[in-house]
Amino acid sequence: MDIKKILLKIFSKKKYLKYKSEKIKIENKLLYETEVKTKLEKISKIIKSKNEISFLHSGHLGDVINALLVIKEISKNKKCNYYVEANKHLPPSVMDRSHPSGKFFLTDKSVDMLLPLLKKQKYLNIVEKYNNQQIDVNLNFVRNLPLNSNLDSVRWYFHLTGIHSDMENEFVEADPNKNFENNIVIIRSARRKNQLINYKFLNKYENILFIGLEEEYLELKKEVNNLTFHHCKDFLEMAQIIKSCKLFIGNLSLGYALAEAMKVPRLLEAGPNFPLQSPNGKNGYDFYFQQHFEKLFEKIYLQN
């Protein structure tokens, strides 16, 4: 127990914050010297020396997609295999009962829905559910790095591998689903809502489609009367619908990760307390406040 920390927290907020900041710096430096430095050097050596590299990811869904930007860059000179692990337990400190995967980063169902999309990516040599295959680079180690976790999550993997890619480029491929052309497509995670935002102004528009969880659709339906729902059989179908849309709107979720990866016209409902993703490149905008949401929507809607 850190008695000094407790006393400062009670009697001097300013000194407490300074003490906490200095302690984090010391802990981060120690973590880097004892664990991270050697691991990063090993990853760099593997990427440089091997002609075929196997990557492991255990989730979340959006993180599995975001890591593809770096993998695609590496695949220009190497064969890249991607293994996705189901049923890896969340740490008790971050467990969120409202999360669709419950106590896991990814469930078996989530991985099974993700694999068809990953197998469509031509730059991936092998895509499989993880079952003790040989792994060269464990992408989950990104969570051990002494960096601010609120950094744009696409960039996490730059700092893990030392490989940077142009963030304006598409890195997920999907054929458009022509049945959903000209739709305004929405996925709004209940967990990541910006409480300053509502979608009521969309009632004056047509062809508004929700493709997230049904309970989240029903919640948004209270604001947008003409909202319709489509249940995606897997995440390949989800990507195909997003690829064909006139405009995608979403908050932090797999849906926005896909829209960002395919660079479709997109609006990100940014969360002030959890800014884990930002639009990069053409057609992408984020908003924190209602008046900007409506203004940006009209701008993109008229352009497309």
pLDDT for position 1: 54
pLDDT single digits (tens) 71-116:
999 999 999 999 999 999 998 766 555 566 678 999 999 999 999 9
Assess whether 144 and 84 both reside in one domain. Answer: yes
Q: Could you tell me if residue 293 is inside a domain?
A: yes
Nearest one of 176, 166, 187 to 280, comparing CA atoms: 166
Assess whether 223 and 190 both reside in one domain. Answer: yes
Assess whether 194 and 275 both reside in one domain. Answer: yes
Q: Could you tell me if residue 259 is inside a domain?
A: yes
Structure tokens at 41: 């050097």
Other residues' Cβ atoms within 10 Å of the Cβ of residue 23 = 13
Q: Is 86 exposed, middle or buried (0-12, 13-18, 19+ CB in 10 A)?
A: buried
Judge contact between 258 and 239, C-beta under 8 A: yes
Assess whether 186 and 148 both reside in one domain. Answer: no
Task: Write b or e for each residue in 197-228: b if 16 or more Cβ atoms lie within 10 A of its Cβ, otherwise e.
Answer: bebeebeeeeebbbbbbeebbeebeeebeebe
Q: Could you tell me if residue 2 is inside a domain?
A: no
Structure tokens at 10: 């009670």
Rounded to an integer, what is the distance from CA 113 to the centroid of its chain? Answer: 16
Other residues' Cβ atoms within 10 Å of the Cβ of residue 118 = 21
Ranges of residues in the chain whose predicted pLDDT is under 50: none
For the chain, give the number of residues: 304
Residues of the domain holding 141: 49-173
pLDDT for position 170: 96
Q: Could you tell me if residue 33 is inside a domain?
A: no
Q: Could you tell me if residue 221 is inside a domain?
A: yes
pLDDT single digits (tens) 205-249:
999 999 999 999 999 999 999 999 999 999 999 999 999 999 999
pLDDT for position 250: 97
Q: Can you tell me the distance from the alpha carbon of 160 to that of 227, in angstroms, rounded to the nearest whole number?
A: 41
Q: Could you tell me if residue 17 is inside a domain?
A: no
Q: Can you tell me the distance from the alpha carbon of 60 to that of 253, in angstroms, rounded to the nearest whole number?
A: 9
| DSSP state letters, 207-268 | -EEE-S-HHHHHHHHTT-TTEEE---SSHHHHHHHHHH-SEEEESTTHHHHHHHHHT-SEEE
pTM for the predicted model, two decimal places: 0.90
Domain boundary among 151, 173, 195: 173
Torsion on CA atoms 123, 129, 131, 137, rounded to nearest 10: 40
Q: How many domains does one find in the chain?
A: 2
Assess whether 185 and 288 both reside in one domain. Answer: yes
pLDDT for position 238: 98
Domain boundary among 131, 146, 173: 173
Assess whether 273 and 157 both reside in one domain. Answer: no
Assess whether 103 and 206 both reside in one domain. Answer: no
Judge contact between 277 and 257, C-beta under 8 A: yes
Assess whether 205 and 298 both reside in one domain. Answer: yes
Assess whether 94 and 138 both reside in one domain. Answer: yes
Assess whether 146 and 189 both reside in one domain. Answer: no
Q: Could you tell me if residue 16 is inside a domain?
A: no
Structure tokens at 159: 């700092």
Domain boundary among 173, 194, 223: 173
The domain that holds 215 is classified in CATH as 3.40.50.2000
Element (H, E) at 19: helix 13-31
Assess whether 161 and 258 both reside in one domain. Answer: no
Assess whether 184 and 294 both reside in one domain. Answer: yes
pLDDT for position 302: 82
Q: Could you tell me if residue 182 is inside a domain?
A: yes
Q: Can you tell me the distance from the alpha carbon of 103 to that of 96, in angstroms, rounded to the nearest whole number?
A: 7
pLDDT for position 277: 86
pLDDT for position 5: 60
